[in-house]
Amino acid sequence: MSVESGNTPVRIDVKKDKGIEIQWSDGEVAHYALSKLRAGCPCALCKEAREKPAQPKSRLTVLPGNYAKPMHIAQAQLVGNYALKIEWSDNHDSGIYSFAYLRTLSG
């Protein structure tokens, strides 16, 4: 997977209790809140939960983002030169956030 021009991070700053800040090669600096990153987890399980229609008689729909404890990033690591893998404090760690996907979240 190639990263389009402007979608290459120059600097990635992981603030485990606040989110991630990325400076992109085109000069844009994007801030990603923990709640937005966790709720937008691109793994198959989270994606399916977001796309599943709500039950008609259900009062509460549980989706990524409904947590009992404060969320933080336990660990983040680069995946090749195209993505970040984030391990969350709720032990969820299957989301690989491609730089192209992160760039769409910044706009």
* 60-87 tens-digit pLDDT: 554 555 556 788 999 999 999 999 999 9
- Confidence band for 57, pLDDT divided at 50, 70 and 90: low
Are 90 and 67 contacting, i.e. CB atoms less than 8 angstroms apart?
Answer: yes
- Whose tokens are 């680069």? That residue is 78
The pLDDT of residue 32: 97
Query: What separation in angstroms does the CA of 21 have from each of 17, 37, 47, 50, 58?
Result: 12, 12, 23, 25, 37
